A = this chain, B = another copy of it.
């Protein structure tokens, strides 16, 4: 995989780039819909294609447990299994081991855990998670890391960061042995400590990766801290490689981080909020289940041209949620993914025109005004 740095916005850190993989090109900044269990929840792959999603994310931890690697091998990998032939980035499973699994035990060699589904024991090593991701046929492979909770003291964060660095090196060594065109990304840890983030970022570059993620954010810290850590960590990352903030975020978070120079995002928010009845619109979030919408016959987002907004009203969507009809979550998830992907198109176009700050200001003032109504 290759990254071409295209340009920086003339007035801020926002930047345009292009990732090339054998399965297709990805224009950055990019939002990657999350396909945890081999499906972007509630969305047909054909709609992702229709929205021109250029890459999606898969979760190693979930896929390793179900359907399991034997079936994945027989299927010929994740792309064939789920009917998606464009690029897929897979995480390493580390985040889920630390957030979902039971009874974790970390050693220098890896992490032992119990499945949250059936309690069975498993042991993830740096080498194994690379193997799993290669079996999945991942186009961008992530290293195994320990995701540090928030808050964590400096000593804990430092030791953890060093363990993650060691694992990163083992992942790199193992990945290099594979005959594969997949990229491998390192993950900068270090909690909220600037010295640790800096040390980690430079140490990862000494190992050498195809891209660099900032991990350990969106774990409970205040938004301002998330922006601050992102802002200074970017300074320690190379300009000519992609930068990825994992697991973020709301539309406003993404816009703030693009300004810092982040290229890649993933988040479950559009589908999770969609399933629960909240649509993202140009004038803020719309919780369609609310009784206020029962006679509201305008589209969810009057400025949107997705199927949901072209065809149905807020009153209808509210009725679907009110009666427990599965079309409600499906239509809202569809709209929200379209909204995110469309937002990123506008982001890229604004950067192309050196107009990112104006775009961001305009978008956020309408979006946040709607939020505060």
Q: Give the complex CA separation of A147 and B66 in angstroms.
A: 47
Q: Give the complex CA separation of A42 and B38 in angstroms.
A: 20
Name, among A39, A62, A71, A329, the residue most crowded by chain B CB atoms within 10 Å (CB to CB).
Answer: A39
A74 at the interface (CB under 8 A from B): yes
User: Smallest Cβ distance from A65 to chain B, in angstroms?
Assistant: 9
B83, B307, B326: the one within 8 Å of A316 (CB): B83
Q: Give the complex CA separation of A41 and B67 in angstroms.
A: 27
A298-329 CB mask vs B (1 if < 8 Å, else 0) is: 00000000010001110110011011011101
> Which residues of B lie under 8 Å from residue A292 when comparing CB positions?
none
A247-284 CB mask vs B (1 if < 8 Å, else 0) is: 00000000000000000000000000001000000000
> Which residues of B lie under 8 Å from residue A67 when comparing CB positions?
294, 315, 319, 322
The answer to whether A323 touches B74, judged by C-beta atoms less than 8 angstroms apart, is no
Number of copies: 2
B41, B66, B74, B311: the one within 8 Å of A322 (CB): B66
Range of interface residues on A (Cβ < 8 Å)? 35 or more
A36-65 CB mask vs B (1 if < 8 Å, else 0) is: 011101111110000000000000001000
User: Smallest Cβ distance from A297 to chain B, in angstroms?
Assistant: 6
The answer to whether A313 touches B45, judged by C-beta atoms less than 8 angstroms apart, is no
Contact A71:B41 (CB < 8 A) given known A81-B316, A315-B81: no
Measured CB to CB, the nearest residue on chain B to A74 is B295
Q: Which of A322-344 contact B (CB under 8 A)?
A: 322-323, 325-327, 329-331
A75 at the interface (CB under 8 A from B): yes
Contact A37:B307 (CB < 8 A) given known A82-B316, A295-B74, A316-B82: no
Measured CB to CB, the nearest residue on chain B to A275 is B326
B39, B74, B307: the one within 8 Å of A297 (CB): B74
Contact A39:B327 (CB < 8 A) given known A82-B316, A316-B83: yes
Q: Give the complex CA separation of A294 and B83 in angstroms.
A: 16
Contact A66:B294 (CB < 8 A) given known A82-B316, A312-B83: no
Contact A71:B295 (CB < 8 A) given known A46-B307, A83-B316: yes
User: Smallest Cβ distance from A228 to chain B, in angstroms?
Assistant: 37
Name, among A44, A74, A294, the residue most crowded by chain B CB atoms within 10 Å (CB to CB).
Answer: A44
The answer to whether B311 touches A45, judged by C-beta atoms less than 8 angstroms apart, is yes
User: Smallest Cβ distance from A330 to chain B, in angstroms?
Assistant: 6
Contact A320:B39 (CB < 8 A) given known A81-B315, A330-B330: yes
- Pull 9 A–B residue pairs with CB atoms less than 8 Å apart, ordered by A: A37-B320, A37-B325, A39-B325, A42-B330, A44-B331, A67-B322, A75-B315, A82-B316, A326-B330
Please name 20 further chain A to chain B contacts, defined as beta carbons within 8 Å, in addition to the given A38-B319, A45-B311, A67-B319, sorted by A numbering: A37-B323, A38-B316, A39-B327, A42-B327, A44-B327, A44-B330, A62-B323, A66-B322, A67-B322, A71-B294, A71-B315, A74-B297, A75-B297, A75-B315, A81-B313, A82-B316, A83-B311, A83-B316, A326-B329, A326-B330
Binding site for B on A (CB under 8 A): 37-39, 41-46, 62, 66-67, 70-71, 74-75, 81-83, 275, 294-295, 297, 307, 311-313, 315-316, 319-320, 322-323, 325-327, 329-331
